[in-house]
Chains A and B, each alone.
Chain A
């Protein structure tokens, strides 16, 4: 086929067909539109203000590596005046996370950003390797997900940042919309398309790649020759998400706008107030001070199950009752260090600590 010229500059040879628009564009125009769209996402949602300290959740994978590069580029180009940090969580998975963290360490030098690594071992006293050798591969993603969420907040607090940005892209969000529909999780469906979330005591989290297609992120990394790590986690993948993902990729192959269409559908759902009201009120965990909808946060419950050799206790109600029947929590139980939320405005956490 004859080479085609770029639909934007009408000059250079096109190298990419944009999934979002079908336009055929050249390399320089691709870099420019990709970066400009992320900039527009950031400014339209007013994500940052000058002087903000922002941590980039960095796994060494494609999305967070491109995010770190693009955040640095935009911060310099548009004078956001942000202080950027890399924040990585080391789950303790030999042959997977140890290798990907080497990538993050190289990114730290390449992008000249301070890096903080917080490990599950340090925070919880358990690595994922040890958790899996104890409980097996079933449900291990539950432990990992709960532990990672809290570890990111704690790492961000230690860095004194105002904001965490993550590399979630349009494909990830469309997948989550589909999963929430399939599970009938209306409350999550209502919030999963939000670009920025903030609980009362948590640090702001946002997704500057909300509208960026995975194809374009990978192409961007390829053409910029960015250094990223790509291996599937060695423990069981999230099978349900895997199905949603395969389905989404089939839809995208038939009609590339499907991804953005699904995000728009998710945004268009309006969740009634009475549905929102069924969500539990947020409080702080009596044991570790982290936000929780129960007396104990999920991480403390999971950790107690692990420590007492009854990890199933957190998965089923029956096992939970069995754990309770075994007697009270031992006084010398390993617990998570107490969490002091970044803003001490309405500090209920301090009161809890003094009475605990």
Chain B
């Protein structure tokens, strides 16, 4: 089992979600590989990124971002400017240089 490399990613927030992340809309992060598990290599996918963001990037009110291991309903996710629903959602495997955007739709009109 070869160790997955650290990935450099660009994370952006919109629709008010940035308020949970230090009020910064754009973050560059170095995502370490998931800890090795006994049975198989854990994938470096968006589900893992969401968990990692909760532990390392999120400043407050986690329940407004994450619910049941994924983003809360009403948060839109784009990978390299494409709706993540076309990319396998949380199971999309991240690549070096990917841009992931999270936008809340829950704030007033």
A→B interface (CB under 8 Å): 1, 4, 13-17, 24, 59, 61-64, 167-169, 171-172, 214-215, 217-219, 222-223, 230-233, 245-246, 249-250, 252-253
Contact = CB atoms under 8 A, between A and B. Distances in A.
Contacts of A64: 109
A217 B90 CA distance: 23
Given A4-B86, A15-B82, A232-B16, 7 more contacts: A1-B92, A16-B86, A62-B15, A63-B109, A223-B81, A246-B73, A253-B73
Contact of A250 (B16, B73, B88): B73
Contacts of A167: 109
A15 B15 contact: no
B108 A16 contact: no
A245 B106 contact: yes
Interface of B: 14-16, 19, 72-74, 76, 78, 81-83, 85-88, 92, 101, 103-109
B103 A222 contact: yes
Contacts of B16: 230-232
Given A17-B86, A230-B14, A231-B16, A249 B74 contact: yes
Contacts of B86: 1, 4, 14-17, 24
A16 B88 contact: no
Contact of A218 (B15, B19, B72, B88): B15
Contacts of A15: 81-83, 86
A232 B103 contact: no
A59 B103 CA distance: 19
A223 B85 CA distance: 16
Interface pairs A-B: 6 shortest CB-CB:
A63-B109, A249-B73, A230-B16, A17-B85, A230-B107, A249-B74
Nearest to B92: A1
Nearest to A17: B85
A59 B108 contact: yes
A1 B105 contact: no
A167 to B, nearest CB: 5
B73 A252 contact: yes
B70 to A, nearest CB: 9
28 contacts: A1-B86, A1-B92, A4-B86, A13-B82, A14-B82, A15-B81, A15-B86, A16-B83, A17-B83, A17-B85, A17-B86, A62-B15, A62-B105, A169-B109, A214-B74, A217-B105, A218-B76, A218-B105, A219-B76, A223-B81, A230-B15, A230-B104, A230-B108, A231-B19, A232-B16, A245-B106, A249-B106, A250-B73
Q: Which of A214, A218, A219, A230 has the most CB of B within 10 A?
A: A230
A62 B109 contact: yes
B83 A232 contact: no
Given A1-B88, A230-B15, A215 B109 contact: no
